[in-house]
Amino acid sequence: MGIFDKNIDVLSKLLDLTFVKNKVIANNIANVNTPGYRKLEVTFQKELQEAIKSKSVEKINKVTEKIAFSNNAINRKDGSNVDMDKELVEFYKSSDRHKISLDIISKKFKGLISAIEGR
């Protein structure tokens, strides 16, 4: 998105990353009662922050999510380490970030359309 400001690039990348995070969290929630299931975690925040600080669109676009099994202790009798309350909190936080990013991008494009149409 070279013709747009860097905020669009950051927000677009954040949309991609939070989408993946939400899918992984939804998978964890779906498997909450699967005996022996080890939850997955998605990380990208530190890498994204470093890319933003560098002010390089290329670095921002290269940020990828890391998906790995959680090291959380198994806290259930069935051998699963999924804590439904924590998963829901993470899902809502990630969903909020996703929605806010989408809302900001939408407003930026509406402003661009208005400028093009001469409003």
Distance between CA 31 and CA 19 in Å, rounded? 19
**How many structural domains are present in the chain?**
1
Q: If pLDDT is split at 50, 70 and 90, which confidence band does 73 have?
A: confident
pLDDT of residue 3: 52
Arithmetic mean of pLDDT over the chain: 91
User: Global pTM?
Assistant: 0.84
Residue 53 falls inside a structural domain = yes
pLDDT digits (tens, 9 = 90+) for 2-58: 456 778 888 999 999 999 999 999 999 999 999 999 999 999 999 999 999 998 889
Residue ranges with strand state E in the chain: 40-43, 66-69
